[in-house]
A and B are shown apart, each in its own frame.
Chain A
Amino acid sequence: MSHEDSTYAELREQADELRSRINRFRTSLGRYFVQKQELIDLMTIAAVAQEPLLLVGPPGTAKSDLVLKFRDAAGIPEEDYFEYMLTRFTEPSEIVGPIDIKELRDGRYVRREQGKLPTARMAFLDEIFKSNSAILNILLTIINERKFYQDGKPQPVALRVLFAATNEVPEQAELSALKDRFTLKAMSNSVQNEHFTALIDAGLAGEVHRSFNQRPWCEGHCTLVDFVNANRYLTQQFARRDPARDDAGSADRRLFFPDPVFREFERLVKTLVREDRIFISDRKLVKLYKLLRVRAWLLSGGTVSHDDLRLLTYLGETHQEMQLLAEKVPRLIGIS
Chain B
Amino acid sequence: MLLRFPDLDTLLLTITSGIVPFDVVTTAAAMVAVAEEPIAYWVRCEASLSAVVMSELRSVGVTSPATAEGIELRSVQCWMEGVPVEQVGLEQITHSDKTPVLFRLGDVSKLPELINEMLRLGNDRQAFRVCGEEGETTAILRVIGPPYYTLLRALGNDAEGIAAFVEASARVWVELGCRHPLAEMIQPAAGEQLLIERDGTWRSLPEHPFRDVYELLTFQLPSRPSALSAVELRERISVPLRLMRGGEDQPTEMWVLTNNAKQQVEQFVQTTSDEVLTRLSFAVAVEDDPTILIRVRPGRSAPPVLVFDGLQCRPYLRIPNLFLPIGHRVHPPLRRDVVKRMLAPNDGQVVWIEPRSDGRFAPRSVDETMLRPLTDWVDYVLDEHHEALDAWRQSHRCEFDDFICRDDQPSKKKRSTVTSEPTPREPATTSATIEPQTERKPDAAAKERISPQRPRPQRPTVPHERRQLEEKLQGLEVAFKGSELPLDHSDRFDQWRTLADLNSRLGRLSEASLLRLHEIWEADGTAPDAVVSWFQNELEAARQHGAMVIIDEQEGDVTDLSLSRLLSVESPTPAEVSELAAYLTFATVRGSTGLLERQRGRVHRYFLQNETMLSSRSCWLSWCSLAQMSGGDSLALARARDRLLARLHQNGVIRELDVPAFLRSAGGKGDGRFGVVRDRLAALHACVQRFARRNLRLSSQMTLHYIDLLFALTAARMGESQKCRELSESARLALCLVPDPVHGWLWRAFMHRTSQAEQGLPVDGPLPKSFIVQLQGLDKLQRYKVDRLRQHSSVLEPHETLDPYRDWRSHRIGEFDREVTGLFDVTNRNKLLSSLKALFAAPLADDDRAKLLTAALELSPRLGEKFAVKILEQVVPLDRKLKDPVARAGLLEHGLEMAAHFDQREHVTPLLDRLRGLLHQQSDAEIKTLEALECVLQQSSRGLRRLGMRDELAQLLEQFADVVNPSDDPAMIEPERLRVMLRLAAGWFTFGQNRGWVEIDQARDLLFSGDLMGEGHVGAHKQTRLACAYIAAVGEAPLEDALARWEEMFDHLNGIHDASTVNTHYSLKLLDVVETLVMTITGEGFTVDKTTQRWFDDEEYLIRRRIHRDMRRMVAG
Residues of chain A whose beta carbon lies under 8 Å from any beta carbon of chain B: 259-260, 263, 266-268, 270-271, 274-275, 331-332, 334
Residue of A260, A263, A270, A331 touching B121 (CB-CB under 8 A): A331
B61-90 near A? 1/0 per residue, CB < 8 Å: 000000000000000000000000000001
B159 A331 Cβ-Cβ under 8 A: no
B152-178 near A? 1/0 per residue, CB < 8 Å: 110001011000000000000000000
- In the complex, which residues of chain B have a beta carbon less than 8 angstroms from the beta carbon of A332? 121, 149
Given contacts A271-B148, A274-B148, contact A334 B117 (CB under 8 A): yes
A267 B117 Cβ-Cβ under 8 A: no
- In the complex, which residues of chain A have a beta carbon less than 8 angstroms from the beta carbon of B116? 334
The 10 closest A-B pairs by CB, nearest first: A267-B152, A271-B149, A332-B149, A271-B148, A334-B120, A275-B148, A267-B149, A270-B152, A274-B148, A263-B157
- In the complex, which residues of chain B have a beta carbon less than 8 angstroms from the beta carbon of A268? 149
- In the complex, which residues of chain B have a beta carbon less than 8 angstroms from the beta carbon of A267? 149, 152-153
Bound-state CA distance A268–B153 (Å) is: 11
Known A267-B152, A270-B148, A334-B120; 14 more pairs at CB < 8 Å: A259-B159, A263-B157, A263-B159, A263-B160, A267-B149, A267-B153, A270-B90, A270-B152, A271-B148, A275-B148, A331-B120, A331-B121, A332-B149, A334-B117
Nearest CB of chain B from residue A251's CB, rounded to whole Å: 19
Bound-state CA distance A332–B148 (Å) is: 10
Bound-state CA distance A112–B1103 (Å) is: 77
State which residues 88-136 of B face A: CB under 8 Å: 90, 116-117, 120-121
- In the complex, which residues of chain A have a beta carbon less than 8 angstroms from the beta carbon of B157? 263
- In the complex, which residues of chain B have a beta carbon less than 8 angstroms from the beta carbon of A271? 147-149, 152
Bound-state CA distance A260–B148 (Å) is: 17
User: Which residue, of A267, A270, A331, has the highest number of chain B Cβ atoms within 10 A?
Assistant: A267
B1070-1102 near A? 1/0 per residue, CB < 8 Å: 000000000000000000000000000000000
Nearest CB of chain A from residue B153's CB, rounded to whole Å: 7
Nearest CB of chain A from residue B653's CB, rounded to whole Å: 56
Nearest CB of chain B from residue A322's CB, rounded to whole Å: 19
12 chain-A/chain-B pairs, Cβ below 8 angstroms: A263-B157, A263-B159, A263-B160, A267-B149, A267-B153, A270-B148, A271-B148, A271-B152, A274-B148, A331-B121, A334-B116, A334-B117
Nearest CB of chain A from residue B113's CB, rounded to whole Å: 9
- In the complex, which residues of chain A have a beta carbon less than 8 angstroms from the beta carbon of B120? 331, 334
Nearest CB of chain B from residue A273's CB, rounded to whole Å: 10
Nearest CB of chain B from residue A261's CB, rounded to whole Å: 12
State which residues 797-842 of B face A: CB under 8 Å: none
Residues of chain B whose beta carbon lies under 8 Å from any beta carbon of chain A: 90, 116-117, 120-121, 147-149, 152-153, 157, 159-160
Bound-state CA distance A133–B149 (Å) is: 39
Bound-state CA distance A259–B994 (Å) is: 87
Bound-state CA distance A275–B96 (Å) is: 12
Nearest CB of chain B from residue A244's CB, rounded to whole Å: 21
- In the complex, which residues of chain A have a beta carbon less than 8 angstroms from the beta carbon of B152? 266-267, 270-271
Nearest CB of chain B from residue A265's CB, rounded to whole Å: 11
Bound-state CA distance A268–B152 (Å) is: 9
Nearest CB of chain B from residue A263's CB, rounded to whole Å: 6
Bound-state CA distance A332–B118 (Å) is: 9
Bound-state CA distance A275–B120 (Å) is: 17
- In the complex, which residues of chain A have a beta carbon less than 8 angstroms from the beta carbon of B160? 263
Bound-state CA distance A132–B159 (Å) is: 50
- In the complex, which residues of chain A have a beta carbon less than 8 angstroms from the beta carbon of B121? 331-332
Bound-state CA distance A275–B152 (Å) is: 12
- In the complex, which residues of chain A have a beta carbon less than 8 angstroms from the beta carbon of B159? 259-260, 263
- In the complex, which residues of chain A have a beta carbon less than 8 angstroms from the beta carbon of B153? 263, 267
- In the complex, which residues of chain B have a beta carbon less than 8 angstroms from the beta carbon of A260? 159
Nearest CB of chain A from residue B909's CB, rounded to whole Å: 34
Bound-state CA distance A268–B157 (Å) is: 15
Bound-state CA distance A267–B153 (Å) is: 7
Bound-state CA distance A259–B159 (Å) is: 9
- In the complex, which residues of chain B have a beta carbon less than 8 angstroms from the beta carbon of A266? 152
Bound-state CA distance A173–B159 (Å) is: 41
Nearest CB of chain B from residue A178's CB, rounded to whole Å: 29
Bound-state CA distance A66–B117 (Å) is: 36
Query: Of all chain A residues, which has the CB nearest B93?
Result: A274
- In the complex, which residues of chain A have a beta carbon less than 8 angstroms from the beta carbon of B148? 270-271, 274-275
Nearest CB of chain B from residue A312's CB, rounded to whole Å: 12
Bound-state CA distance A331–B153 (Å) is: 16
Bound-state CA distance A118–B207 (Å) is: 71
- In the complex, which residues of chain B have a beta carbon less than 8 angstroms from the beta carbon of A259? 159
Bound-state CA distance A260–B152 (Å) is: 13
Bound-state CA distance A332–B149 (Å) is: 7
Bound-state CA distance A274–B120 (Å) is: 19
Nearest CB of chain B from residue A336's CB, rounded to whole Å: 8
Query: Of all chain B residues, which has the CB nearest A270?
Result: B152
Nearest CB of chain B from residue A107's CB, rounded to whole Å: 47
- In the complex, which residues of chain B have a beta carbon less than 8 angstroms from the beta carbon of A263? 153, 157, 159-160
Bound-state CA distance A266–B160 (Å) is: 14
Bound-state CA distance A263–B154 (Å) is: 11
Bound-state CA distance A268–B117 (Å) is: 13
Bound-state CA distance A275–B160 (Å) is: 22
Nearest CB of chain B from residue A269's CB, rounded to whole Å: 10
Bound-state CA distance A334–B149 (Å) is: 12
Bound-state CA distance A260–B157 (Å) is: 11
Bound-state CA distance A267–B160 (Å) is: 12
Bound-state CA distance A267–B152 (Å) is: 6
- In the complex, which residues of chain B have a beta carbon less than 8 angstroms from the beta carbon of A270? 90, 148, 152
- In the complex, which residues of chain B have a beta carbon less than 8 angstroms from the beta carbon of A274? 148
Query: Of all chain B residues, which has the CB nearest A266?
Result: B152
Bound-state CA distance A116–B487 (Å) is: 68
Nearest CB of chain B from residue A157's CB, rounded to whole Å: 40
Bound-state CA distance A263–B153 (Å) is: 8
Query: Of all chain B residues, which has the CB nearest A271?
Result: B149
- In the complex, which residues of chain B have a beta carbon less than 8 angstroms from the beta carbon of A331? 120-121
Nearest CB of chain A from residue B478's CB, rounded to whole Å: 55
Nearest CB of chain B from residue A329's CB, rounded to whole Å: 11
Bound-state CA distance A275–B149 (Å) is: 9
User: Which residue, of B90, B148, B160, has the highest number of chain A Cβ atoms within 10 A?
Assistant: B148
Nearest CB of chain B from residue A6's CB, rounded to whole Å: 38
Nearest CB of chain B from residue A228's CB, rounded to whole Å: 38
Bound-state CA distance A121–B908 (Å) is: 64
Bound-state CA distance A236–B153 (Å) is: 33
Query: Of all chain B residues, which has the CB nearest A260?
Result: B159
Nearest CB of chain B from residue A330's CB, rounded to whole Å: 10
Bound-state CA distance A58–B159 (Å) is: 45
Nearest CB of chain B from residue A64's CB, rounded to whole Å: 32
Bound-state CA distance A50–B160 (Å) is: 35
User: Which residue, of B90, B147, B152, has the highest number of chain A Cβ atoms within 10 A?
Assistant: B152
Nearest CB of chain B from residue A310's CB, rounded to whole Å: 15
Query: Of all chain B residues, which has the CB nearest A332?
Result: B149
Bound-state CA distance A148–B157 (Å) is: 45
Bound-state CA distance A201–B152 (Å) is: 48
Query: Of all chain A residues, which has the CB nearest B116?
Result: A334
Nearest CB of chain A from residue B1036's CB, rounded to whole Å: 48
Bound-state CA distance A275–B121 (Å) is: 13
Bound-state CA distance A334–B112 (Å) is: 14
Query: Of all chain A residues, which has the CB nearest B153?
Result: A267
Query: Of all chain B residues, which has the CB nearest A269?
Result: B152
Query: Of all chain B residues, which has the CB nearest A263?
Result: B157
Bound-state CA distance A271–B90 (Å) is: 12
Nearest CB of chain B from residue A125's CB, rounded to whole Å: 36
Nearest CB of chain B from residue A333's CB, rounded to whole Å: 9
Bound-state CA distance A270–B148 (Å) is: 9
Bound-state CA distance A96–B836 (Å) is: 75
Nearest CB of chain A from residue B831's CB, rounded to whole Å: 65
User: Which residue, of B147, B149, B157, has the highest number of chain A Cβ atoms within 10 A?
Assistant: B149
Bound-state CA distance A293–B153 (Å) is: 23
Bound-state CA distance A267–B114 (Å) is: 14
Bound-state CA distance A260–B161 (Å) is: 12
Nearest CB of chain B from residue A162's CB, rounded to whole Å: 33
- In the complex, which residues of chain A have a beta carbon less than 8 angstroms from the beta carbon of B147? 271
Query: Of all chain A residues, which has the CB nearest B122?
Result: A331
